[in-house]
Structure 1
Amino acid sequence: MSKHLSMAEAVARYIPDGASVALGLALEPLIPFAVGHEIIRQRRQNLALIGPISDILFDQLIGAGCVSAILAAWVGNVSEGLGHCYRHAVEKQIPHSIHVEEYSNHTIALALLAASVGSPYIPTRTLLGSDIPRQNPRLRVERSPLDETPVLLVPALQPDVTVVHVQRSDEEGNAHAWGNLGICESAFLAARDVIIVADDLVSHETILSDPNRVLGPSYKVRAVVHEPWGAHPSSVQGCYNRDHAFYHEYHQRTRTQEGFQQWLEEWVLNVPNRATYLAHLGEDRMRTLKIREHRYASPVDYGY
């Protein structure tokens, strides 16, 4: 069954106000910026964002007023430092206050892994002695039943929806991804619903030719969106590289509320779809980001 929808339809159907949404799960690559921008255009409210390093997409959603809670290890601008909108929200409640539950990269991964396998929690010794368990009430320090030593219990975290950007998918939601995947697989399996955003829409036969690259079961996928360059300015291995200049420009322009609002109007609010966004980005800039040297994996023999 085809699940192919437009970006606007996918967000309208499957990311309602108040939803918990896992994004940016491959760390620096494969960040679904096109989804985030459509969320902003549809003026979603009271979202809880879940993720590891949580690059500037989180910052944009916070600045646009879409977010009420953050469950993450870090929010900012990886190559530049601070996320100005995140800082304004935490320190000055601008545009409004947000609730923050802190994790490390490892423990946010464990929380999603627990939900993906149906476990109520996963015990670990990481973070013992740090301030994070005191800040995050979800994390509990208990005694191990095996040797009475302290352990940290990381409870399962199930997003209402996980959004993953991939290199290619068929219309049923069987998706291929490669390169650094971070915690995409755990978040895919943990979520109630999944939205796939793909640079290429391919046949089911293409997916079957390499089944080990399938990210997760298609029955969890609610929508497949074909959105070339949908992860820009982050990278998609084999498609396009990271736009470092874009991150720098964002950092410089969003230091003030007025600067962020001007940036938001230019790149999101006055841009009805990704095609218009790419036209604004320009062919020359896109050409500098395209892959210069292809490096294909060796063929795999699935014969029997």
Structure 2
Amino acid sequence: MPKICSLQEAVANNLHNGDAVAFEGFTHLIPHAAAHEAIRQGFKDLTLIRMTPDGIYDQMIGHGMVKKVIFSYAGNPGVGLLRRFRDAVENDYPHRIEIEEHSHAAMANAYEAGAAGLPCAIFRGYLGAELTRVNSNIKSVVCPFTGETLAAVPAVRPNVTFIHAQKANKKGDVLVEGIIGIQKEAVLAAKRAVVTVEEVVEDFEGVSVNACIIPSWTITNIAVVPGGAHPSYAQGYYARDNAAYLEWDKISSDRTLFENWIKDEVLSAAPEDFERRVAHLRAAK
């Protein structure tokens, strides 16, 4: 059974300097609170993995925590660029980072391969793709049965994965409802997994037909952090904070504004602040 503990303890116990780490979420349930705790604890030389890096990776890159990013698509959702990410790539600020860019299909298959304990993912894709010119980890193999040429990429196997979810039960199982991206596979592929949740309940009731239940044996620690996905949304709990995404474009476009924001909104903040941030976005129960 995973240990239910504070977010500070969960991050300190599971994340280490130099780790390959995934903070996964797709459109909603993005683990912002967990990423902010990682920033507060000052980890360095991280390899960040994510299908769709957004603001939290922009913040971690801008704060100088990152040596490499393995990803597919990077942007401020619905707004535009990740400006701290771009500043690091184009200007080596605050230092140079390595990037390994893939398609969504490649990343999804790489996570699935990692979850299955396989060394690589093999799939149809990348025919004529420009990414093959800049990513040496995109290979091709010939099917021994059909002779078809297929794409191959290394399996993704993080040292630790962080996700956010709606609920955990007393047994340590986790319920994810709504849009489900690659969270399940990211947990299964990782050596350690931490889940932040909106609440812990006795057991799950009225579960929707597309829900995903991640069993307790796949999870290392659970931390209760209401609002922990803000400014993304958590279906059934609070809406997406569109204004925060627009504001991030302004903040991230200026190095001084960014550094002041990190100091005020992350380094001087606490996990409990996330509940306040979503108060005006709460769904009617």
User: TM-score, normalization: structure 2?
Assistant: 0.93
TM-superposed CA distance for 1:145, in Å, is 1.9
Choose which of 274, 283, 291 in structure 1 pairs with 2:283. 291
- Once the two structures are superposed, residues 79-104 of structure 1 have per-residue CA deviations (whole angstroms, 9 ceiling, x without a partner) of 11101100010001111111100111
- Once the two structures are superposed, residues 111-142 of structure 1 have per-residue CA deviations (whole angstroms, 9 ceiling, x without a partner) of 01011112222322211210222322222112
Q: Name the aligned partner's letter for residue 259 of structure 1.
A: L
TM-superposed CA distance for 1:195, in Å, is 0.2
Distance in 1 (alpha carbons) for counterparts of 2:20 and 2:2:
25
1:112 lines up with 2:119 in the alignment: no
1:258 lines up with 2:268 in the alignment: no
Distance in 2 (alpha carbons) for counterparts of 1:49 and 1:173:
26
Please list every run of 5 or more consecutive structure 1 residues that lacks an aligned counterpart in the other structure. Answer: 295-304
- The 8 Å contact of residues 196 and 225 in structure 2, kept in 1 or not, is answered as yes
TM-superposed CA distance for 1:254, in Å, is 1.7
TM-superposed CA distance for 1:106, in Å, is 1.1
Report 1:202-281 matches (<5 A). Answer: 202-203=201-202, 206-207=203-204, 213=211, 215-271=213-269, 273-279=270-276, 281=277
Distance 1:116 1:211, change over 3 A: farther
TM-superposed CA distance for 1:286, in Å, is 2.4
- The 8 Å contact of residues 76 and 86 in structure 1, kept in 2 or not, is answered as no
Aligned with 2:109: secondary structure? helix
Aligned residues between the structures: 284
Distance 1:211 1:232, change over 3 A: closer
Aligned with 1:21: secondary structure? strand
TM-superposed CA distance for 1:210, in Å, is 5.8
Distance in 2 (alpha carbons) for counterparts of 1:51 and 1:135:
19
TM-superposed CA distance for 1:259, in Å, is 1.2
User: TM-score, normalization: structure 1?
Assistant: 0.88
Q: Name the aligned partner's letter for residue 114 of structure 1.
A: A
- The 8 Å contact of residues 4 and 171 in structure 1, kept in 2 or not, is answered as no
Report 1:126-145 matches (<5 A). Answer: 126-145=125-144
Distance in 2 (alpha carbons) for counterparts of 1:159 and 1:95:
24
Aligned with 1:274: secondary structure? coil
- After TM superposition, the structure 1 stretch with the greater mean CA deviation from structure 2, 16-25 or 169-178, is 169-178
Aligned with 1:215: secondary structure? strand
Report 1:18-33 matches (<5 A). Answer: 18-25=18-25, 27-33=26-32
TM-superposed CA distance for 1:69, in Å, is 0.7
Task: Tell me: higher relative CO, structure 1 or 2? Use CA pairs within 8 A at least 6 residues apart.
Answer: 2
Aligned with 2:272: secondary structure? helix
Distance 1:276 1:118, change over 3 A: closer
Aligned with 1:225: secondary structure? strand
Distance in 1 (alpha carbons) for counterparts of 2:170 and 2:6:
12
Counting aligned pairs with the same residue, the percent is 32
- The 8 Å contact of residues 168 and 199 in structure 2, kept in 1 or not, is answered as yes
Distance 1:63 1:209, change over 3 A: same
Match of 1:155 in 2: 154
Distance 1:98 1:2, change over 3 A: closer
Please list every run of 5 or more consecutive structure 2 residues that lacks an aligned counterpart in the other structure. Answer: none
- The 8 Å contact of residues 167 and 201 in structure 2, kept in 1 or not, is answered as yes
Match of 1:299 in 2: none
Q: Name the aligned partner's letter for residue 256 of structure 1.
A: D
Match of 1:13 in 2: 13
Match of 2:59 in 1: 60
TM-superposed CA distance for 1:277, in Å, is 4.9
Distance in 1 (alpha carbons) for counterparts of 2:213 and 2:55:
24
- The 8 Å contact of residues 56 and 75 in structure 1, kept in 2 or not, is answered as no
- Once the two structures are superposed, residues 269-295 of structure 1 have per-residue CA deviations (whole angstroms, 9 ceiling, x without a partner) of 111x1223554x4xxx722x1114x6x
Match of 2:42 in 1: 43
Aligned with 1:224: secondary structure? strand
Distance 1:208 1:276, change over 3 A: closer
Where does structure 1 differ by over 4 angstroms across 4 or more consecutive aligned residues?
Answer: 208-214
User: Which has more radius of gyration?
Assistant: 1
